[in-house]
Amino acid sequence: MRLVPLVPFNLLNYAFGLTSISLPDYVLASLVCMLPGTIAYTWLGYAGRSAAAGDMSALRYGLLGLGVLAMIAFAPHLFRRFRVKEPAWIESAELQQRLAAGEPLVIVDVRQPEEFAAPPGHLPGAINVPLAELANRTPDIAARKQVIVVVCKTDRRSARAAIELLAAGLQDVTVLRGGTDGWYQQGLTLE
């Protein structure tokens, strides 16, 4: 938000005070994000004053300042490219239809082995990869080259696991909304 000059900084200061952002993080982010704009505006002012006094070489400084301001304007678009991709979600009914149609899917259940084996069970054909072991087993999952559906009891752990898989470079990752609880509540079979 500090990179967007349209949002008043005073209003942002109060808004950030209501969040859980720590003071050192707030100060560092403010410094890093506000310093380039401050330097560019100062440079532009200096170049304008020099140009008004008849120094035409100051025009270079002005153009350089405008260039820095343009970079600051496009910085949010640049940072947006580096954000972690959000996982897609799938409903139980849609997953059931896709399984019935025989689509090649890898269902990864990220619960602990005792949860995976305990009643009411797990989704048909699911493989158990506990969340703590996911980083080590990601290459095995990626080698299957199929759409990955991540499942847990509800959908909290599976959402975290999906973000981890996407960050590791896997593409087709979805999360079962409601997890095995939602699947079971709809009367769908578990193994």
- Positions annotated as catalytic residues are 152
CA-to-CA distance for 128 and 189, rounded, in angstroms?
17
**How does DSSP assign 108-138, residue by residue?**
EE-S-HHHHHSTT---TT-EE--GGGHHHHH
CA distances from 87 to 51, 54, 140, 143 (A): 53, 58, 19, 19
Instruction: Assess contact for 134 and 164: CB atoms under 8 A.
Output: yes
